[in-house]
Amino acid sequence: MAGLYSPFARVVLSAMALSSLWIGSASAINVTTYHYDNFRTGWNPNETVLTPASVGEGTFGILANVVATGNIGTQPLIVQGVSIAGGTHDVVYLGTNADNVEAFDATSGQKLLSVNLGTPPPKTIFPIPVQVGVPSTPVIDTTQNAMFVLTCTYENNLPVYRLHKLNLSTLTDMVPSVVVAGSTKLVSGQVVQFQALVQRQRPALLEANGKIYAGFGSFSDLAQTTSRGWLLGWNATTLAPMTTNEVTNTRAGKSGTCNRYQTGTCYLTSIWMSQTGIAADTAGDLFFVTGNSQPGTYSPPSNIQESAVKMEGDLAEIKDIFTPHEANTLDNTDWDFGAGGITLLPPQPGKYASLAVAAGKSGIMYLLNRNNMGGHTLAAPDNVVGEYTIGGCWCGQTYFTGSDGIGRVVSSGDVTEEVWKLQTTPTVGLVQESQSVPLDSGQDRGFFTAVSSKGTEAQTAIIWALSRPTTTEGNITLYAFNAADSTTIWSSVAGTWPNVGENSNVVPVVANGKVYVWGGDNLAILGLNSSSSVALRRSTPMPRVSGHEIYGTAVAINGNMISLKTRTGKIVMVDNSAADAADRTIELFVGRALVIDGDYDGAGVMHAKLTNRAKSSPLLWYSDK
Residues in the chain: 625
Mean pLDDT score of the chain? 92
The helix or strand, by DSSP H or E, that contains position 100, with its residue range, turns out to be strand 100-105
pLDDT band at 259 (very low <50, low <70, confident <90, very high): low
Q: What is the mean pLDDT of residues 163-184?
A: 98
pTM for the full predicted model: 0.94
Q: What is the pLDDT of residues 373-399, one digit of tens each?
A: 999 999 999 999 999 999 999 999 999
What is d(CA 388, CA 120) in angstroms, rounded to the nearest whole number?
42
Please tell me the predicted confidence (pLDDT) of residue 22.
34
Q: What is the pLDDT of residues 427-476, one digit of tens each?
A: 999 999 999 999 999 999 999 999 999 999 999 999 999 999 999 999 99
Please tell me the predicted confidence (pLDDT) of residue 257.
59
* Contact call for residues 530 and 554 (beta carbons, < 8 A): no
Residue 243 predicted with pLDDT over 90: yes
* Contact call for residues 127 and 610 (beta carbons, < 8 A): yes
Q: What is the pLDDT of residues 220-231, one digit of tens each?
A: 887 677 899 999
Q: What is the pLDDT of residues 455-469, one digit of tens each?
A: 999 999 999 999 999
* Contact call for residues 393 and 359 (beta carbons, < 8 A): yes
Please tell me the predicted confidence (pLDDT) of residue 476.
96
Residue 527 predicted with pLDDT over 50: yes
pLDDT band at 261 (very low <50, low <70, confident <90, very high): low
Residue 519 predicted with pLDDT over 50: yes
Percentage of the chain modeled with pLDDT above 90 = 83
The fold for domain 8-527 equals: Methanol Dehydrogenase; Chain A (2.140.10)
- The domains of the chain are located at 8-527, 548-620
Q: What is the pLDDT of residues 283-336, one digit of tens each?
A: 999 999 999 998 889 999 999 999 999 999 999 999 999 999 999 999 988 899
Regarding the domain with residue range 548-620, which homologous superfamily does it belong to in the CATH classification? Answer: Nucleic acid-binding proteins (2.40.50.140)
Residue 10 predicted with pLDDT over 50: no
Residue 564 β-bridge partners: 554, 572
Please tell me the predicted confidence (pLDDT) of residue 265.
66
How does strand 448-452 pair with strand 43-44?
Answer: parallel
Q: What is the pLDDT of residues 325-348, one digit of tens each?
A: 999 999 988 899 999 999 999 999
Closest CA to 71 of 516, 610, 501, 496: 496
Range scoring the smallest mean pLDDT among 13-22, 543-552, 555-564, 577-586: 13-22
Instruction: Assign 452 to helix, strand or coil.
Output: strand
Q: What is the pLDDT of residues 402-423, one digit of tens each?
A: 999 999 999 999 999 999 999 9
Sign of CA dihedral 490, 492, 494, 499: positive
